[in-house]
Amino acid sequence: MFLTGFKSDMTGGKALALEAHCRAQGRAFLRFDYTGHGQSSGVFEEGSIGAWAADAVTALDELAVGEQVLVGSSMGGWIMLLTALARKSRIRGLLGLAAAPDFTRDLMWNTFTEDQRQQLDRDGHVDLPNDYDDQEPYRISKPLIDDGWNQLLLDDPIELGIPVRLIHGLLDKDVPWKTALRIQEQLTSDDVEVQLVKNGGHRLSEPNDLDRMTRTLDALLAGLP
């Protein structure tokens, strides 16, 4: 089950590569769009981490059968952890790709200028530059920031005892690679491995990145009891 990143959708390179890989192995695979993303209804600016995590839990409950491995990219890595905590009996393993738990606090609120914080309170949103695909600026809403405080994970132990694999690029300009080390420190599982990719950026979507992703997934699946 693939969990996409912030303002991404289920037609991205990683999602499609995983689907093709699972099909070739005869494995079931699920990809979907959160509310306000891709083909789903709703307004992106009205969304929040909690709401999108609820979407993931609903997809797990309604569309997936049996135990699952979750693969989460960037924000999807946060959603992945929240989903696993909400449905511990259903999740066998996790694979995070540039996973970004707590980013609304650590990478947004904590880096906002005083003017940006005042704009958020005054206007209900603040616009941030978007370096990908020449898109419009990211409009960050007050509900996103406010709800993020209720979903934080890295300040306390993350009570999961399942195998977890984390891949993070050392050249990631959006989510610091040390985030992967923070995640593994907080996870209570003893079976956690971190791969740091010397020339890897945030997207991890180059052919070699996709190969690494599927190899890591295969090894994770092979090691499950």
On whether the CB atoms of residues 196 and 177 are closer than 8 A, the answer is yes
Number of Cβ atoms within 10 Å of the Cβ of 43: 9
Q: Please confirm, yes or no, whether 202 is among the known catalytic residues.
A: yes
DSSP, residue by residue, 54-102: HHHHHHHHHH--S-EEEEEETHHHHHHHHHHHHTGGGEEEEEEES--TT
Q: Please confirm, yes or no, whether 141 is among the known catalytic residues.
A: no
From 74, 106, 141, 147, active-site residue:
74
The sign of the CA dihedral 215, 96, 29, 188 is positive
d(CA 66, CA 1): 12
Q: Please confirm, yes or no, whether 172 is among the known catalytic residues.
A: yes
From 21, 73, 202, 209, active-site residue:
202
Active site residues: 74, 172, 202
